[in-house]
Structure 1
């Protein structure tokens, strides 16, 4: 029976989101690393998302401040991690993300590449791959930050072509450079440096770096689960499994190590929070936010019913379940936004949240437009409403 459990209301959950995700103005972060830690990790599949997600959570600073965190003081790094997806995390959290998620992904990437090499039939094996990797690292030491094309020009082995899926309809010849670079990056032996072009570009340069310190995987999963519960609780076992991509066994072991408390939700269900984290959350001041596609606040749960009207989902998500740019009011998604080719920020509210909300949304749109300046943003995963607004 759940009747004796503490109740966390939908309003409490929205208050938590505003404060803990640092979206309410009084809760905004001083640094990009703090902004990332607030939501555990920033989605980084789309280069612009990291910057726009951090922007929404920072007290001040333009794109250059986020670039400095990524490429100068290295307080923020991109890792192929949860759900085999690229995220940006603080360097303080990175070893835990590496041990709990990235390390197993890297092992799979290496096995997959070795399988393709073996099936190609040219005698390319683990020894050949090791030599190619060492040559690529030596080239980075000599050249400094380099693109994949520059590395291929400097390392003959990276120009090697192999045939994958031989004998099948989708047989294809491909170069090994991208796959070798992906393995090295997954293992933390290289990392993404400044892209060619602006902060919206995904054509990264690469630099040689040292792998993260080895941590016990179980310890790392427990720490990641603890941080996730603080940022996203109340949440369920299913939410954590979806967010991490872990097996159900690993999810349950991590939660057992955290020993979360159970709470009751307004819809009659139950969820988990950190031990002792059951008190009602004071309401922050009213706040509006313009969040980019794939922002963690929209993607942090498998079940998003507490902050998203199901009727609005078709307009705001693509066919694969990726959320597009969204407009928020006090912890609830109330619309979507886009940037037109001439740079204008446009938006549409899918409900009527009232006059105060409309005024706050207009002011936040102006703040976003000033921050973006001359840059142009086209989400990698386009949604129906975003396409309509830019048509």
Structure 2
């Protein structure tokens, strides 16, 4: 029988599953282990998505986890870059890559990328990267060109993505400001190997552990797997899940997150967060109205161009956005709340930006004015 829950209950449970309340996650690997996949198409946003969930961490801590293959950046879901725990990437690609590659078939044909071109690129990758060698994206594209494989237009991107989706490449450590490409089997020599249905059950359990409570449709959107696969995953994972009823709609929560059920005491480290753009707290779901009203959602994606702005979160609800601007005088933050913040919210936002500044290692200043509460005028 499903446990009835209010929207406030669901938000409280989600904050806990996302590592934004309750006991702090101890390191970047723990975040990836909890979330399974953290969107990282915007690389810096992905770093902060991990950092905001590890109080006291720095960008160097996350970079170190990437450089030592604790986290791996690749295309494990929806044809979109994510950070994932290194041992999990192989089985995730086994589930998701066939559908993503099928969806890219038309574009590959338009670019003239037939099987011969792709296999030629794979040979170049194996020849140039075997033995622990690495190349930046620019270096790898130059190696392809040297072998007569054109990378003009979007061909270079599609070749790299195809080789990653088929398990040949992944992104490795940093060299200067660039990430390098490496051979996946060398970078992750001891992957987990799961059979198809077992992998579906693992994906299901891990999704609801890091994103619950959420619906089966949320999982289908997040993974871009078929509803038939989602049903198999739910069947395999059923013993590890709790059903939550929100307004007559069944949501699922991993049993390991049971402490967040209605009636439990909330455990929070903060009530206001400055989350990055593309954060899983919003993008991890097909339906987002639990945390942001439908009429406010367009403000998070101006122009409907697919670029999600950084979020201001207060008590688990999205109350606005924020932006950074780097100038010769430093980094500035501008808040764009939906409504004027209360003094408590503004103070929390200032603390959240202080956390962001400490994480990034750069001084950050909030522009005065928009969204800030009116100053208190002392009585005379």
Count of matched residue positions in the alignment of Structure 1 and Structure 2 = 352
Q: CA deviation at 1:311?
A: 3.1
Match of 2:311 in 1: 326
Query: 1:331 & 1:351 partners in 2: Cα distance?
Result: 16
Counterpart of 2:289 in structure 1 is: 305
Structure 2 equivalent of residue 193 of structure 1: 172
Corresponding residue for residue 253 of structure 2: 273
Structure 1 residue 355: deviation in Å? 2.7
CA–CA distance in 1 between the matches of 2:169 and 2:339?
46
For the pair 1:17 / 2:14, whether they are aligned, the reply is yes
Query: Equivalents in 2 of 1:105, 1:214: separation in Å?
Result: 20
Are the aligned partners of 1:158 and 1:175 in contact in 2 as well (CA < 8 Å)? no
Q: Which one of 196, 199, 206 corresponds to residue 220 of structure 1?
A: 199
Cα deviation for residue 149 of structure 1 reads 3.0
Q: CA deviation at 1:37?
A: 2.6
Of residues 216, 226, 230, the one that matches 1:247 is: 226
Residue from 126, 136, 142 that aligns with 1:137: 126
Any idea what SS the aligned residue of 1:341 has? strand
Please say if residues 320 and 337 of structure 2, whose CA atoms lie closer than 8 Å, have aligned partners that are also in contact. Answer: yes
State the Cα deviation string for residues 265-306 of structure 1 (Å, max 9, x = none): 1x4433233469483242123422111110001111111112
TM-score by length of 1: 0.79
- Call closer, same or farther: CA 1:306–1:196 in 2, change over 3 Å: same
Higher mean C-alpha deviation, range 41-50 or range 175-184: 175-184
Shift of 1:363: 1.3
| Whole-Å separation in 2 of the counterparts to 1:375 and 1:47 | 20
Kept in 2: contact 1:76–1:89 (CA 8 A): yes
CA–CA separation in structure 2 for the residues paired with 1:252 and 1:309: 29
CA contact (8 A) 1:114 1:125 kept: no
Change beyond 3 A, Cα 1:335–1:92: same
Partner of 1:41: 37
Residue 78 (str. 1) matches residue 40 (str. 2): no
Q: Aligned residue for 2:83? A: 88
Instruction: Provide the rounded CA distance (Å) in 2 between the counterparts of 1:147 and 1:284.
Output: 43
- TM-score, reference length from structure 2: 0.81
Matching of residues 338-353 of structure 1 within 5 Å = 338-342=323-327, 343-351=331-339
User: Quick one: distance in 2 between partners of 1:263 and 1:151?
Assistant: 48
User: Distance in 2 between the 1:182 and 1:264 partners?
Assistant: 39
SS of the residue 2:91 aligns to: helix
TM-aligned CA distance change 1:143 to 1:262, over 3 Å:
closer
Structure 1 CA distance for aligned equivalents of residues 226 and 323 of structure 2: 36
User: Is contact 2:14-2:213 (8 Å) kept?
Assistant: no
Q: CA deviation at 1:74?
A: 0.7
User: Matches of 1:28 and 1:113 in 2, distance apart?
Assistant: 43
Local SS of the residue matching 2:326: coil
Matches of 1:344 and 1:114 in 2, distance apart?
A: 41
Please show how residues 140-151 of structure 1 align to structure 2 within 5 Å. 140-141=129-130, 144-151=133-140
Give the whole-Å Cα distance in 1 for the aligned partners of 2:43 and 2:335.
22
More off after superposition, 88-97 vs 55-64? 88-97
Structure 2 portions without partners, runs of 5+: 365-369, 372-380
- Structure 1: unaligned runs, 5 residues or longer: 163-172, 377-387
